[in-house]
Amino acid sequence: QTLPRLYHQNVINHYSNPRNVGSFDKNDPNVGTGLVGAPACGDVMKLQIKIDEDSGKIVDACFKTFGCGSAIASSSVATEWVKGKSMDEVLTIKNTEIAKHLSLPPVKLHCSMLAEDAIKAAVKDAEAKRGKMNGNSKAAD
Ligand code: FES
Ligand code: FES
């Protein structure tokens, strides 16, 4: 069996064995949901994070991606990277880091961009929910 030479081992690994595929209840007050689409190709990615109420850290993450192999691999990596971090920390994750980790070719950069956007959207959702719970409106913009 031959593997496409275009792709690095990490992308094949995350494509054929994606981590953290699934869904959390989006109505759970400790779950943030990011749903984003790529205008270029119409692919869609949903990434969810679960926040520990006390520490504010991300304790779990999952995704569902209707898209290409690079988008699936990017979301898989993203869910691995956000676990154990604070919401502020994961906002610094750049799509270029994900693309580098997977050795994505330039035409596939937008696939990793979906993952960065999905992380940001999930954090925004989680912060908005927490703001509501704590009675402040920090994340409302
Ligand atoms: Fe999986 Fe690095 S190969 S996150
Ligand atoms: Fe669009 Fe990969 S080709 S997300």
Residue 43 lies in a domain: yes
19-27 contacts, C-beta under 8 A, 24 or more apart: 19/76, 19/79, 19/80, 20/60, 20/61, 20/62, 20/63, 20/76, 20/79, 20/80, 21/62, 21/63, 21/64, 21/76, 22/62, 22/63, 22/64, 23/48, 23/62, 23/64, 24/48, 24/50, 24/60, 24/62
Catalytic residue among 58, 73, 111, 126: 111
Residue 35 lies in a domain: yes
In this prediction the pTM is 0.88
- Predicted pLDDT of residue 2: 54
Q: Which residue has the tokens 């069996």?
A: 1
ipTM for the predicted complex comes to: 0.91
Computed on alpha carbons and rounded to an integer, the radius of gyration of the chain in Å comes to: 15
pLDDT tens readout for residues 80-105:
999 999 999 999 999 999 999 999 99
Residue 4 lies in a domain: no
Is the CB of 114 inside a 6 Å radius of any atom of ligand 2? Answer: yes
What's at 16, amino acid-wise? Answer: S
Residue 135 lies in a domain: no
pLDDT at residue 18 greater than cutoff 60: yes
Domain assignment of residue 69, given as a range: 9-126
Q: Which residue has the tokens 């719970």?
A: 133
- Predicted pLDDT of residue 131: 84
Residue 100 lies in a domain: yes
Q: Is position 111 annotated as part of the catalytic site?
A: yes
Is the CB of 101 inside a 6 Å radius of any atom of ligand 1? Answer: yes
Nearest CA to ligand 1 atom 3: 10
Is the CB of 6 inside a 6 Å radius of any atom of ligand 2? Answer: no
Distance of CA 72 from the midpoint of ligand 2 (Å): 9
Give the total number of structural domains in the chain: 1
Q: What is the pLDDT averaged over residues 54-78?
A: 95
- Predicted pLDDT of residue 26: 95
- How far apart, in whole angstroms, are the C-alpha atoms of residue 58 and residue 31? 9
Residue 37 lies in a domain: yes
For residue 104, give Cα distances in angstroms to 54, 55, 58, 109, 136: 37, 34, 26, 7, 41
**Mean pLDDT for the chain?**
90
The CATH number of whichever domain residue 58 belongs to comes to: 3.90.1010.10
Residue 132 lies in a domain: no
- How far apart, in whole angstroms, are the C-alpha atoms of residue 103 and residue 43? 20
Residue 131 lies in a domain: no
Q: Are strands 31-37 and 58-66 parallel, antiparallel or unpaired?
A: unpaired
